Structures are given as C-alpha cells and as structure tokens.
Structure 1
Amino acid sequence: MFGRFTMNEKNYSKVPVFENGLAQPVFPLTDGKTGEKYDPVTSSIVRYCVYVETDYDVDGDGKRDLVKAVVQVPRSAVEGNYKAATLYEARPYAAGVQEDGYPHMKEVAEKEYHPVNFADLDKKVDAHVPQGCISAMDLSLKADPADWYYPDKGNNNVMVFENIDTFDYYLVRGFAVVLSAGFGSKGSDGFNYVGSDYERDAFKAIVEWLHGDRIGYADREGTVETKADWSNGKVAMTGRSYAGTMPFAVATTGVEGLETIVPIAGIADWYSQQNMQGAQRYWPKEMLNSFLAYFCSSRYNDETLTEKQRDDMGAFHHEMSLQQIKGGFDYNPEFWGMGDYRLHADRIKCSALIVQGLNDENVSTKQYEMMYKSFQKAGKNVKAILHQGAHITPTMPKRYGILVDGKFYDDIINEWISHYLYGVENGAENRPAILVQMNYDQRKWETADSWETAYKMTLTCEEQGTTVIDTDWEAAGVSAENFDDVMGVRSSNMAQRYVTDPFKEAVTLQGTTCVRLRAALKDGDAEADFNPVNSNDADTLTMKLGMHEMSGRMDDVKLTLLLCDVCDEEFDSIQSVDLQRNTIPVNVVKEGGIISGGEVPAWNEAEFATVHKKYRVITRAFADLCNPEAGYEPETAQNSIELKKGEYHDYHIYLNATRYTVEPGHSLALVITTEDPINCLIHKTYSVEIENASVTAEVPMTAAVENRVMTRK
C-alpha cells in the first residue's frame, strides 16, 4: 500500500492503508458544513446529494417516491484511484425533526381527516425515465452545502444533518459515508411509516444504488441519473436507536451488497418496543407510532409543499393511529407484523456486531437479544458488545467516549468493517461472541463464548397464602420521582418483595429470567374500565389505546416486575438518574483521551458516574393480566381475556435480558407490583391477588448455583 498523507502533498491519489488490521488515517479532511470552509473544487472529500428511486408511491402523487441521501466520498475514489467501501447510516431524524410532537398530538386528537386506504400503497407506478447522466465529480461541483446543512425549522433552527461529521473517523481512512433520513423527510418523497416494509425498502434501495442495482438521480424530478461508480459495492450499516433499527430491518431483506451491520441500541420488533406481554412498556406520551412518524417528518418544513400535501401527510399518520388503537396494547399482526423483523431471520445474509447498553430502558435489552438470536437462526456470524451505559454509543462524537476493554470503540468497528468491506485478514470475525462490561467494576470486561448459558438457578417461595397488591400510589408513597427507590427497599399495599438470603459468593446472571405465578383480579370496576385517569397528561387520541370502547375488550390490567440487587449496606452502582430512566451521567477521566486520528478532533475519555444506594434494579418487565398466553415471543400477546374477579390464571413473565454479577453479601429481590407511574398511560383502580407459593423465577446463570428460597419482606 501507499504511504501516509502529508500536509504538503497537493494530489488526491491516496488509497486506503491497513496496518495492524486497521484502516489508517491517510486521507485529508475538509469541512462539509459551511460555504466558507467547503470548496468543492479543492475539497479532498467529495460531497453531494442523490435521490434514489424506490418501488413505491407512498404519497399518492402518481410518481415513484425518491429518497434523498447525502454522500461523502474521498476524492481519490471519485477520481478512480480505488473503489470505496461505504458506511451507511439510515437515520430518520437526520434531515430534521418536529419538536412540537406532544402539542401536535393534542391538536390533531379530535381533528377530522379524509379517509386513507393503506392498500393504495401497493399500487404500481411507472419508474422515472432518465434523460441524461452526470458523474459524481460534476455533481459535487454543483452541490450546495445548504442541501445537507440548513436550519431545522421544526427544531428551533438547530442545524440538520448535524451528524455530517459524525463519521469523519472513517472518511479519513478511506471509507465513503452515506446518510439518509428516508421517506417523509425534507428532500425526500413519501410519508414516514414507522416499522413498515415501505420504510425498510426505501433504505434498502440506497444499498442497491451503492451496489449498482438501482437508479439514483441528481435532481428531485428524477431526470438526470448519477451512478455510484466510485463504490466497491460493499456496504456496512450502523447507527443508534432508530438508526440502529434500520440496519436490522434492511438485513432481513437479504439485499446484495450489505456485508455487515453494526446496530447500536436497535429495535428487533416494534411491538415489544412499545409494549410487553400485552401491557404498555414505553413512555406514555409516545405510545402511538404516529407520534414518532410525525416527529421524523421534516418534510412538513418543505416550503414547496401545498396545504393539500401537508393534509395528506397528517391524514396518513392519523390513520396509523386508528390502526394501532384497534389492537390496544395487544399484538395485532396486521399493524405490528411488518415491524417484527425477527420473523424474516431466514433472509439474513450478512454478519453483525451488535452494541447495546445494559442500562438502556429506551430500547430495551430484549431487542438486543431478539436480534442476536435472529442472526444465530440465520447461521450468520454475530458478536455483541454490551456496556453499562444507557441509550448511548460508546463514542459520542463532540461529547465523550468510553473505552471498550481498553480500546477505542471506533478502532474496534474499524477492524470489523475493514475485514468485511475490504477483505482485510485481521481476525475480526473471530472476536469473542460476547464482550461485556462488568457492573461491579466498569473497568473490567469479560467475554463469553455464547449468550445462552448451560445453567439456571430457580428461586421459589414456599410461603402459603396470598398477597394482595393494588394501584393506590398515594397510600404506597409512590410517584414517578421515587418509584424505583420505594420498590427496591420495601413492600407496601402496592408491591410485594420476595427476597433471597444473601449470597456467600459472587454469582452472575446472563440471559432472560422467566417468572411464573398464579394471580387473579381481586377488585376493580371493570364496567367503568377501572376508572381510568390520564396520569401523564397524554393527548386524548393516545388515551384511547387501552380503552374498552375502542378495542372492544379489557386491556392493560398491568403487573410490573423488578429483579433487584439488594443489600443492608449502601453500595456503588451504575443507575440512571432522570425520570425517564434514559440518562446515566459520566465523569471525564481524560480530556482528549479518545483519539480519532488524522485531522479529526479527539473526544474526552469518560467513565460512568455511580450512585450509592441499598438497591439496584437489575431488570424489569411489564405484563397484562388479560394476556395469560403471552410469553417471550411478541406474537403470543395476540389473545386476551376478560378477567373475572377471583378467577386465577397462570402467567409466565419474561424480564428484559441482562448480564449482572451479584456480589457476596447481596441478595436478589423479586418485586411484583401493579403500575409504574413512569410507564403508565392510563392509571386504573384495581387490585390483584397472588398465590405466594406459585411465585418462581428461573434465572439463567453463567455457572452452577444452588436453587434459592425467597421469603416475603
């Protein structure tokens, strides 16, 4: 390979250099944000926008929808010195967001819209016919940075495509970087349709363009074609949250050219992202997928749109709401089936390196586990990095990064994609199946050969009689501010704790705990829908989700389960500190300690802050008493029953996946309660009776551990 770049060289003929299995920072970097700093004539990074044609006409204007992508490629590749592999982020937020999501939902809750027939989405529409072709270089010379870096009118004029420099680490190492916000975003056609095949296929189309199998255009009208002739046809998808979901969605299409994915806190199934075993799981005001669809619809801010086009978008999202409301909190295959990506695991052709925070309660750890199992089912190479953070990427550019087993996170990803996109023989494919940051010492990382374990510890309660728990928050002294604090340390009218004796030696849980119990509705006015209260000021449309009058059945008579690490003495642990359980503070341990290389700024090295308490919630779950058939698989939550007072049913409730070490002197506490004020859309009045002796928990363990008896405390 050629030598490294020096600032005195004026040519753009560098090619990727690999040393020690990593792509090296040999390419110069030029800023892509402002006209003052970005000169397309001399820029070492070629930047432009492409509009890729999809197979659909989601917005019903009689033309196939085009989706916008922002392309960044080292100029050397565009000039033909080498073919560049691509790192691709499909991120619906990238082109702008609608920050007024909550007020908007209240404004449209009672609005009358024209009817929308989703069957029209499959109508065949003729493709655009190119009338000319333009090269990537010529297109870049005409490009205006304002096409990818402009004020976001939906977010207080914050600049959009703010992640234009998120992947500079990879640009200076010779990778191309492509960003797209997909359907319904500014610059693209169509409507955002969360969790749908249409959304998935729009993002897939960009992979096909990079692979040479689909037409992309230089203009919004679809007249002048442009080819990705600088591409080697190999793509890796990555991103966090929604952007971590789309790599898995696209992977389940088996699209050619997608060689690997690195999903971070991605969703495997949209139903169990919002719900859990028939019960509400997510934040109350965001329970309707139409909230997220509107939030991502930066196309509203396209000044060329007519009022009819905006109204059509609103009607489409309103129909999404009505379709979701029909199913309530139960699994409705007509609504949720397209977003249950794990159902198509057999189509997966690529590898995956999955990244997940073990304290992420935005996108739960169950999503990681379902995704991991899907790749195993497909027989493809899959590895995981599990850290102790919440909803973050191990390196948060422009902010901070944590070391991953003493290494820079981006170096680990560099090694992985260098292997899969450039064929570098560096052994990346043989990295440990599981690399996990330990909860008791965040500087310690351990490996496992498999996520599945050969051992289980059974926890049982031998006490006879019954326990009654209710939903009287006030009597229990419970609020959104202190729910975990109360649940972790004492039983009450609202919760029963089942506690083991202290462990004499450290034990490590790994996987999904299943709790079994028998319970019955004790009291409550079912005919009045258990006297519902809008406890979190949600809009009236969202409030219809769990109402009998809308779904035609009893719904969301909730049980909440927590598995806690408890101790008589306070101990340090990593826990979220905000009401939404979405933030874990960090402490900077070394300024500029995360090295990006080349001309890319270094970020601060950080560690997670700890709290000092007598408990730590290890994992939790939600379940609806109306869904006794519901289990681990999302589709098992389809069938619900009408509860009768005093009529017992057997339940098996799966907590979110985790890996956690309980230290000597600590105990496990299984907490069974009713409503969690933070995750409560509809506060209801009811009580539940539990047979104490029926309460058991099967806990997967990394080593053989004696079964334990739990007592009520």
Structure 2
Amino acid sequence: MKKSSVLNIAACFALLFLGFLPMANAQKAVPVFENGEAQIVPAFNDPEKWIRHDLWVETEFDTDGDGKPDRMHVDVTRPFQTDTEGLKLPIVYESSPYFAGTASLADGVLWNVKHELGATPPARVNPTVTRRGERPIISNSQIKTWVPRGYIVVHSSSPGTGLSQGSPTVGGDNESLAPKAVIDWLNGRAKGYTSPDGNEEVKAFWSTGKVGMTGTSYNGTLPLAAATTGVEGLEAIIPIAPNTSYYHYYRSNGLIRSPGGYLGEDIDVLYDFIHSGDESKRAYNNKTVRDTEMKNGMDRITGDYNDFWAGRDYLNDMGPMKAALLMSHGFNDWNVVPEHSLRISEAAKAKGIPTQIYYHQGGHGGPPPMSMMNRWFTRYLHGVQNGVENDAKAWIVRENDPNDKPTAYADYPNPEAKPVQFFLSKGAPKAGGISTKRSANQGKETLVDNYSFSGATLAQAEVTEHRLLYVSPVLTAPVHISGKVKVSIKLASSKPAANLSVWLVSLPWTEGRNSKITDNLITRGWADPQNYKSLRESEPLVPGKFYEMSFELQPDDQIIAAGQQIGVMIMSSDREFTLWPAPGTELTVDLDGTSISIPIVGGTAAFEKAVKE
C-alpha cells in the first residue's frame, strides 16, 4: 500500500475512535439533579453491584488505657463506578453507639426513684452487652436512600462500642473526636487500616471530601458533636431529635428528672446500655469512666449543674462550628425534649451559620421531609446552587397535617409572637382563673404532693388537693402559641426539698382530639426550688418561707382551638419524670407573687379578642 493510503486509513480510524469518545463518556454514570434535588440514577441503584467494605480509622485519643490511639470501626457502601470509572462522590455519614447492640433494661438496671429528695438512692445493677453484627456491615441505614442518588454512605461505631476501640463517655470529648477522625480520613488527613491492630492502610480515593451527617436521637447528637470540632469537610448536618446537653436530658433547673419513658435512667445507665466494645477493656473503662468520672460528677443527690455536666453540653463547644444546620424535632418529644434543638439552632443562627429548623407535632424522632433533606445535601455536598439557603428558616407541621407538608414561617419562634403575661386568681381545690389583668389580694393556695396520680389524671380532676389549676375563659377564636412559656412563681414548702412541676394544658380534656396530639398537654417543665438563686448551688428550703424563682417550660408551637380553655397546672411530683418522695409535702403558692408569660401570635390583643363573648 502507498504511504498516503495507510495514513488515510489511520486517519479514518482515529476519527472513528474520537467519534466514539463522547458516546463513551456519556455512558459513564454521574449524579443527576432536577429541581435542586439529587435523583435516583439507575446505574447506582443495583445493590448487587455496590461495593461494601470495612476498616479502622486511627484517632488522636486513647481512652481504653492501652497506650495506643483508639481506632474506630468504619464501613463503606459505594457504587461500583467509584472503582471502575474513577468516580468520586460525597459522603452521607451516620455514627452511633447502638449499631452493635445494647443492654437489657431488666429490673434493677434503672435507678429506683422511690425515695426522699436528697437521700442516697439504693444501688443499681450494672448490666453487660453482648456485641452483635458481622463484618463488614455495621448498619444498613441511609444506604437505600442515598447511594442511588449519587452518594457514598459511611457508618462508624462510637468509641467502646462494637468493634471500635476505646471507651464510651456519653458526651465526652472522644465522642466528638471519633467522627472527626473519620471525616479526616475521608479527606486524606487521617489513616485507615484493614484491621484494628495492623499496618495495612486503606485510602478513601473515591471521596470528594465533602461530608454530611445525619441520624436520630444519640445518632443525631453525634453530627453536632463532630461539627463542634470545626473539622474541614463536614459541610452539612441534619440532626433529628438530638440530645445537645446531657444535663438538660437528665436534669431540669436543678431537679433530678428522667427522660420520658425511662423513669430512673441517668448518664451511667446509658453508659452501661451502650458499652458493647472489647470485653477485655471493659473493666478498665468501667473503673475510669463510670465508677470514677461519672460517679463523682453526675450528682444524683442535689441535681446541681457542675463542670462534669458543662463538659457534656455542646452549646459550650460551638465556637469552631461552621457546618450548615438543618434541625428536626417533635414538639411532643418527652424523651429528648424540644429545647435541645432550639438552643443549638439559635446559637448557630447567631454565628451566621446557614440554619433551618423543622418541627412536627409528634414524639421522639421524625426526620424532615425527604425533599428538604435532599435539597440540603444537594446544596452543601454536591455544590448545586439550588437556593436552599434562601428558603424559610422554620417549618412547622400544623395540627392534623402530614409530616411531609409543613408550613413555612419566617423563623421560630414565630416573629409575630409576643409574650403575654397572665395573673392567677384563686379557686382551689377546684380551678381558679388566669387573666391578663391582675386582681389584687388573691392570697395563697396549697397543694399536697402525691406521686400516685399522673399529671393527666390531675388535669382532668374537677376537685383535688394534689394540684392547683388556673384556666382562661373559653376561647371564641383560635390562639396560636409559639415559643417558650416562662413561669415566675412565689412559693413555700413544708419540707426542705420538694419537686416542682408546671403544665400548660388545653381543656376540656378530650383523648385523641387529633391524629398528632393524643392528649391536651400543650407544654410542661420542672424545677427544684432549692436552686431558686443558682443552678450550680442549691440550698435547703426553710419550711414555710416563701421563695421566688423563674424558669421556662419546653418550647412549643400549637394552635389552641376555639371552644378550649388554656390552663396552668402546678403540682409537685410528676409521676412520669421526677423522683417519688413519700406523699404529703405541701407547696403553698402566693398567687399575688406568681405569673406566667405565654408567647402568643398577635400578643395581648389577639388573646383578648379570642376570649370576648
């Protein structure tokens, strides 16, 4: 063949080859976005082809006393294209102390709450946890949601749980530094290994370095814990019902209080509940953490705030935080009460961090709508400019609405809500009244503590000496409450210590009045009168002497329907939450020295209009 012919044939083949290049590139799987949301990509949606493996990431701490940095057990689930096509993707990451199993809450594990205030409680039983799970899978959470949409999903077990080394500390620094180390590894700044003690390294070559964290309850706390380290690469977090302060979880205004549904739980109980790590290290961990640090710091006698609790409050650690925050919580969550989310979201907004909050009317858990989460991660992990940062700052699920149809508001609390001060008028042992106008010389009224009666029973009682109840006129129009109710009370106790519990209720009590709210509780709160001056220093009450104190109830956003009455109920022990001292303590309330401030949309004018006949 002539040289020119060979060249022409070669040129044809070259053009043909180059012609196929765009087609070959077009066949590569990439994330797809529509309307600012990541879409399911069929090429990513074949579980049989997902690559799943595990590893151990080295941290900067040693909490199990073996002289070596603790390593965290991590699993990875990613599309196969991250191996075959050089695809790099962002990460959705969930960490937990629960993945490897938990202890039984058998008799004796929880603290016995039936004793006098200030008394040393009887000893409790320390359970053990049998680890569950098989490598390489730590958890299957998040995977079916996010991998098909162009993300890699990563899980890790918290220190001292599962196959992660170290010790649980329940809010200690290592629980922040552990997920930080994983995020550092995803960005090439920390080392990962194929085994807990070996030297064969694993690289996250498939990671873009952009990480978003989410999870519910404890799993929702850990994204915040990681964010407070300021770690580079953690771009966004979606905590769902997170515990943001262990003091606020186990205490209220100086009062020893259990989380709803777990009467007698305290921080050492939770430590035992999650301690599923290496059995050979548990004795050391128990001695140094549970039996020393926690025993000396938790103070189940006075309930006072101290440095132990301050070190487990993420509000105190928010200086370095910069991850965009989408917070989610239920207004009727009495396990992790709703103040946990509000206190952090308010601090994040004050720092200028992109922040949104989603509240629903249900109980513990409940993520934001999938579309909202998708937009959040799409914006901050994939970098798609979908304008989510310009969306409404607050999303509230209204009564009877489905959770995926929240109403948008400019902020929470509702900016149109104004504090309305209410005063009490006498009526015990029946119901007295509340009014925006003060009536002088209402005197004093007394209740007798008796833990045998639940708050719901007392709210429905027509006549009882075990609570004081003050109600508004019947509403002729709806009243929208949004924010935190504040109680200012002047009271005396017949004993040196007493529980104090306050409920805001909607009456008459009608079980199951809508699909989201199963009773007429609006909100509630608890306090120890011994802490009337200081949260850090309580003092015994002088029987018969009157003391003044103020505290807030849990935040809420609820529309009280026409035909209802708003009631303030004051009692001593709250059967589902507080200690159970012997019945008989008397609390006397000075009505002229007591008031309650309720945030109402439209302020005093709106309330007055709603009670006109």
> Structure 1 residues 235 and 109 mapped into 2: Cα distance closer, same or farther (>3 Å)?
farther
Aligned pair 1:651/2:549, yes or no? yes
> Structure 1 residues 111 and 267 mapped into 2: Cα distance closer, same or farther (>3 Å)?
closer
Q: How does 1:34-433 map to 2 (within 5 A)?
A: 43-100=48-105, 103-104=108-109, 153=130, 163-283=139-259, 285-299=263-277, 302=278, 305-306=279-280, 309-315=281-287, 316-326=289-299, 328-394=301-367, 409-433=369-393
> Is the CA contact (8 Å cut-off) linking 1:388 and 1:442 kept in structure 2?
no
Give the partner amino acid of 2:296. Q
> Partner of 2:221: helix, strand, or coil?
helix
Q: Tell me the residue number matched to 1:460.
A: 423
Residues of 1 paired with 2:51 and 2:362: CA distance? Answer: 35
> Structure 1 residues 282 and 112 mapped into 2: Cα distance closer, same or farther (>3 Å)?
closer
Give the partner amino acid of 1:21. G
Stretch deviating more after TM superposition (640-649 or 309-318): 309-318
Residues of 2 paired with 1:571 and 1:112: CA distance? Answer: 37
Residues of 2 paired with 1:509 and 1:111: CA distance? Answer: 42
Aligned pair 1:620/2:598, yes or no? no
Shift of 1:328: 3.6
Q: Deviations over 1:487-523 (max 9, x none)?
A: 24545221101111122221211111101110111x2
> Is the CA contact (8 Å cut-off) linking 1:346 and 1:377 kept in structure 2?
no
> Is the CA contact (8 Å cut-off) linking 1:355 and 1:384 kept in structure 2?
yes
Q: Tell me the residue number matched to 1:594.
A: none
Shift of 1:694: 2.1
> Structure 1 residues 693 and 199 mapped into 2: Cα distance closer, same or farther (>3 Å)?
same
Give the partner amino acid of 1:492. T
Shift of 1:377: 2.0
Shift of 1:336: 0.8
Residues of 1 paired with 2:586 and 2:337: CA distance? Answer: 28
Q: Tell me the residue number matched to 1:690.
A: 589
Shift of 1:389: 1.5
Shift of 1:160: 11
TM-score, structure 2 length as denominator? 0.83
Shift of 1:610: 6.0
Residues of 1 paired with 2:500 and 2:330: CA distance? Answer: 25
> Structure 1 residues 174 and 641 mapped into 2: Cα distance closer, same or farther (>3 Å)?
same
Q: Tell me the residue number matched to 1:551.
A: none
Can you give the 5+ residue segments of structure 1 that lack an aligned partner in the other structure? 1-8, 32-42, 114-151, 395-403, 527-553, 575-607, 631-636
> Is the CA contact (8 Å cut-off) linking 1:290 and 1:317 kept in structure 2?
yes
Q: Deviations over 1:531-568 (max 9, x none)?
A: xxxxxxxxxxxxxxxxxxxxxxx6xx210110011138
> Partner of 1:207: helix, strand, or coil?
helix
> Is the CA contact (8 Å cut-off) linking 1:102 and 1:285 kept in structure 2?
no
Shift of 1:345: 2.5
> Is the CA contact (8 Å cut-off) linking 1:280 and 1:622 kept in structure 2?
no
Higher relative contact order (CA 8 A, sep 6+): 1
Aligned pair 1:515/2:413, yes or no? no
Residues of 1 paired with 2:466 and 2:111: CA distance? Answer: 32
> Is the CA contact (8 Å cut-off) linking 1:468 and 1:690 kept in structure 2?
yes
Residues of 2 paired with 1:165 and 1:352: CA distance? Answer: 21
Stretch deviating more after TM superposition (380-389 or 463-472): 463-472
> Is the CA contact (8 Å cut-off) linking 1:353 and 1:383 kept in structure 2?
yes
Q: Tell me the residue number matched to 2:513.
A: 573
> Partner of 1:339: helix, strand, or coil?
coil
> Is the CA contact (8 Å cut-off) linking 1:203 and 1:246 kept in structure 2?
yes
Residues of 2 paired with 1:610 and 1:617: CA distance? Answer: 8
Shift of 1:346: 2.6
Q: Tell me the residue number matched to 2:471.
A: 499
Q: Deviations over 1:581-637 (max 9, x none)?
A: xxxxxxxxxxxxxxxxxxxxxxxxxxx4665xxx6001110100101135xxxxxx2
Stretch deviating more after TM superposition (684-693 or 73-82): 73-82
> Structure 1 residues 331 and 222 mapped into 2: Cα distance closer, same or farther (>3 Å)?
farther
> Partner of 1:205: helix, strand, or coil?
helix
Shift of 1:201: 1.0
> Is the CA contact (8 Å cut-off) linking 1:101 and 1:291 kept in structure 2?
no
Give the partner amino acid of 2:423. T
> Structure 1 residues 609 and 697 mapped into 2: Cα distance closer, same or farther (>3 Å)?
closer
Q: Deviations over 1:135-193 (max 9, x none)?
A: xxxxxxxxxxxxxxxxx9467x9999674144311011110111112101121111110
Q: Tell me the residue number matched to 1:558.
A: 499
> Structure 1 residues 278 and 232 mapped into 2: Cα distance closer, same or farther (>3 Å)?
same
Aligned pair 1:438/2:411, yes or no? no
> Is the CA contact (8 Å cut-off) linking 2:110 and 2:124 kept in structure 1?
no
Q: Deviations over 1:447-492 (max 9, x none)?
A: 2112143522221123611111122345xxx15xxx3133245452
Residues of 2 paired with 1:162 and 1:565: CA distance? Answer: 45
Give the partner amino acid of 2:217. S
Can you give the 5+ residue segments of structure 2 that lack an aligned partner in the other structure? 1-23, 113-120, 425-438
> Partner of 2:318: helix, strand, or coil?
helix
> Partner of 2:385: helix, strand, or coil?
coil
TM-score, structure 1 length as denominator? 0.72
Stretch deviating more after TM superposition (690-699 or 328-337): 328-337
> Is the CA contact (8 Å cut-off) linking 1:101 and 1:294 kept in structure 2?
no
> Structure 1 residues 445 and 22 mapped into 2: Cα distance closer, same or farther (>3 Å)?
closer
Q: Tell me the residue number matched to 1:447.
A: 408
> Structure 1 residues 488 and 99 mapped into 2: Cα distance closer, same or farther (>3 Å)?
same
> Is the CA contact (8 Å cut-off) linking 1:53 and 1:64 kept in structure 2?
yes
Number of matched pairs: 552
Residues of 1 paired with 2:544 and 2:74: CA distance? Answer: 58
> Partner of 2:576: helix, strand, or coil?
helix
> Partner of 1:372: helix, strand, or coil?
helix
> Structure 1 residues 485 and 285 mapped into 2: Cα distance closer, same or farther (>3 Å)?
closer
Residues of 2 paired with 1:101 and 1:271: CA distance? Answer: 24
Residues of 1 paired with 2:192 and 2:134: CA distance? Answer: 29
> Partner of 1:202: helix, strand, or coil?
helix
> Is the CA contact (8 Å cut-off) linking 1:439 and 1:573 kept in structure 2?
no
> Structure 1 residues 14 and 365 mapped into 2: Cα distance closer, same or farther (>3 Å)?
same
> Is the CA contact (8 Å cut-off) linking 1:251 and 1:348 kept in structure 2?
yes
Shift of 1:287: 3.2
> Partner of 1:239: helix, strand, or coil?
strand
> Is the CA contact (8 Å cut-off) linking 2:532 and 2:549 kept in structure 1?
yes
> Is the CA contact (8 Å cut-off) linking 2:530 and 2:539 kept in structure 1?
yes
> Is the CA contact (8 Å cut-off) linking 1:12 and 1:76 kept in structure 2?
no
> Structure 1 residues 270 and 111 mapped into 2: Cα distance closer, same or farther (>3 Å)?
closer
> Is the CA contact (8 Å cut-off) linking 1:248 and 1:371 kept in structure 2?
no
Stretch deviating more after TM superposition (329-338 or 53-62): 329-338
> Is the CA contact (8 Å cut-off) linking 1:365 and 1:656 kept in structure 2?
yes
> Is the CA contact (8 Å cut-off) linking 1:286 and 1:292 kept in structure 2?
no
Q: Deviations over 1:107-147 (max 9, x none)?
A: 9986999xxxxxxxxxxxxxxxxxxxxxxxxxxxxxxxxxx
Q: Tell me the residue number matched to 2:4.
A: none
> Structure 1 residues 338 and 325 mapped into 2: Cα distance closer, same or farther (>3 Å)?
closer
> Structure 1 residues 165 and 326 mapped into 2: Cα distance closer, same or farther (>3 Å)?
closer
Residues of 2 paired with 1:54 and 1:60: CA distance? Answer: 14
> Is the CA contact (8 Å cut-off) linking 1:459 and 1:708 kept in structure 2?
no
